[in-house]
Structure 1
Amino acid sequence: MRDLDFTQRFLFDDTDVRGEMVSLGDSYAHVLAKHPYPEPVAQLLGEMLAAASLLVGTLKFDGLLVLQARSSGAVPLLMVECSSNREVRGIARYHASQVEAGAGMRELMPEGVLTLTVDPSEGKRYQGIVALEGATLAECLSGYFANSEQLPTRFWLYADGRMARGLLLQALPADRVKDPEARAANWQHVTTLADTLTAEELLGLDNETVLHRLYHEETVRLFDSQPIHFKCSCSRQRSANALVSLGQHDAEALLEESGGTVVIDCQFCNQRYSFDAADVAQLFAGGGSESPSQTRH
């Protein structure tokens, strides 16, 4: 059975343009299995998963990329994380009564704002913000790059609740083609052809076939694929750290209010971490997060 979760880079040999394609099957299914998302929300979340996976491929860093969208509408929050190791997770918050069948991003997320955060393991954190003014997430991300000082970049994103797919094209610094007019013409040419790509084609065809249909008159080099998988970064230790950050007095008060057991739920994967009085006492005694009690966690 062919792998359904990967990114794959390609280059145009005669122009200063690179591309990346992403396919998410199992990892997308893992994200959707954690919550009962309505179809329009599942589709939008899939597009954001694909976008984050593509964006990680444009960056040379060790760390985490986060896409977070907020709005005043039926979907007040979308959040996706993708690490430099291509580990993805995502979540959506929605008001079920307000989600209409067939609704797109503009209807689901009015007055929306998208925040892109690059959080490297070492070095300075970067954050960019763009209003969700386009009809689709792909339009908004493309507009963000068009209005920034970064390299021109375009996105095509589709998801159907089973597969999430994406295509990215990005102009590179002048190397093969120096003339500005020629560079602009080349960029216009490859993006115009990509605009003919349908959701059915991207969701249903393999990368080689898609690229041949779009660019059979161009010389395109397709590189080896890079695997992607779902992984949640939550842990008992991170939950314990959150308790410790409250301070001992507040943590003990929370323990009392909770009836003797503090339960911390991961919003992304629904994993539950429980801490009783013995656990909390051990944390503040410096004994670590592994439970000393007979209670299973």
Structure 2
Amino acid sequence: MTDLLKKYLFQDHSVRVQAVKLDEAWRTGLAHQSYPPCVQRLLGELTAAAVLLAANIKFDGSLVLQLQGDGPVALIVVECTSDLTIRATASLREGLSVPRDGNFQSLLNSQGQGRFIVVLDPQRKNAAMQPYQGIVPLEGDSVAQVLEHYMRNSEQLDTRLWLAADAGQTAGLLLQRMPDQGGTEAPGPAHDTWERAVALASTIESGELLGLDTDTLIHRLFWEETLIAFEPQNVSWHCPCTRERVANMLRMLGQEEVEDILSQRDQIDVSCNFCGKPYRFDPIDCARLFTSPQDTPPSGAGSIH
């Protein structure tokens, strides 16, 4: 199992270390989505970051990270639940081409109006925690820098991130400076630990993040340090779209509308708006939509094409 989040703590408890490596989950997420390589990379980096950050939030619900762009990329959004299931998608702006060599700022913030949005969405049964939304400008030249800026200024936590992604995998490393029990940054020797940890981690390259397994990576970076290791956590891809939900969406259109669509084509093809998974309904499938008893209320999650 390679889709794992691994957590460590420096011996003096002043620095948190987390690493995530996603292979199968990432490929599953891309199976029905086709993006230019530069967009795919940004989506993968934000996905790894969402897992790293969600793992530190003690609540039942979802962490949603959004990059709202004013350039060729209109939106990149990742959701990671408290049990580390993920889904991710990107939307390109119609009429604008994506440059092959596009970078973070040119793709998302070419007009200076891009925004980074963090949403904490607790489950309804969790009355102890209210929904939260934070919005900041897209300051920085990478997904990692935007997140570091947000964590430092909005959460008052020194955080460093190293992220990498390609078509087959995505990976990330997080360092976070822990506050002392009084709620302030740990002084003295703990400051030295933080500086040393950042210096060691800064030697990592994207190829190592993607090419090395987590155990090898952590040993290569911190082999002289004493780290406390925690139980690894599995990460998986999950989009709640189902054929039943798409069928309910078609029922909402009504029999007359569905029959009108079928009069112009041999079948109805619907893709999930989030993960892109295709669903196909032929005339027999459509006829059954309006003849079978229904116990499930209508719920739509797709677009017809």
Q: TM-score, normalised by structure 2?
A: 0.80
Alignment partner, residue 71 of structure 1: 69
Q: 1:100: how far off?
A: 2.1
* Comparing 218-227 and 15-24, the one that deviates more: 218-227
SS state at 1:61 partner: coil
* Comparing 86-95 and 164-173, the one that deviates more: 86-95
1:164-212: CA deviation from partner (whole Å, max 9, x where unpaired) = 110111222315x986244333322212221221112211112222222
Q: Percent identity?
A: 36
Does the CA-based 8 Å contact 2:32-2:278 persist in structure 1?
A: no
* 1:200 maps to amino acid: G
* 2:92 maps to amino acid: Y
Q: 1:153: how far off?
A: 2.0
Q: 1:83: how far off?
A: 1.5
User: Residue 198 of structure 1 is aligned with which of 195, 200, 205?
Assistant: 205
Q: 1:145 to 1:280 in 2, by over 3 A?
A: farther
Q: Does 1:106 align with 2:105?
A: yes
Give the aligned CA root-mean-square deviation in angstroms: 3.1
Alignment of 1:213-232 (within 5 A): 213-232=220-239
User: Residue 84 of structure 1 is aligned with which of 82, 85, 91?
Assistant: 82
Count of residue pairs the alignment pairs up: 282
Alignment of 1:1-297 (within 5 A): 3-94=1-92, 98-110=97-109, 111=112, 112-121=114-123, 122-123=126-127, 124-174=130-180, 180-236=187-243, 238-239=245-246, 258=261, 265-267=271-273, 268-272=275-279, 279=289, 287-288=295-296
CA distance in 1 between partners of 2:61 and 2:91 (Å): 25
CA distance in 2 between partners of 1:253 and 1:153 (Å): 56
Q: 1:98: how far off?
A: 2.2
SS state at 2:116 partner: strand
Alignment partner, residue 301 of structure 2: none
CA distance in 2 between partners of 1:44 and 1:140 (Å): 12
CA distance in 2 between partners of 1:221 and 1:34 (Å): 39
Does the CA-based 8 Å contact 1:27-1:228 persist in structure 2?
A: yes
1:196-237: CA deviation from partner (whole Å, max 9, x where unpaired) = 211122111122222222222211122232111111112356
Q: 1:34 to 1:179 in 2, by over 3 A?
A: closer
Q: 1:257: how far off?
A: 6.7
* Comparing 194-203 and 42-51, the one that deviates more: 194-203
Q: 1:29: how far off?
A: 1.0
Does the CA-based 8 Å contact 1:243-1:251 persist in structure 2?
A: yes
CA distance in 1 between partners of 2:255 and 2:187 (Å): 65
Unaligned stretches of 5+ in structure 2?
299-305
1:108-134: CA deviation from partner (whole Å, max 9, x where unpaired) = 111321211111112321112222221
CA distance in 2 between partners of 1:188 and 1:35 (Å): 40
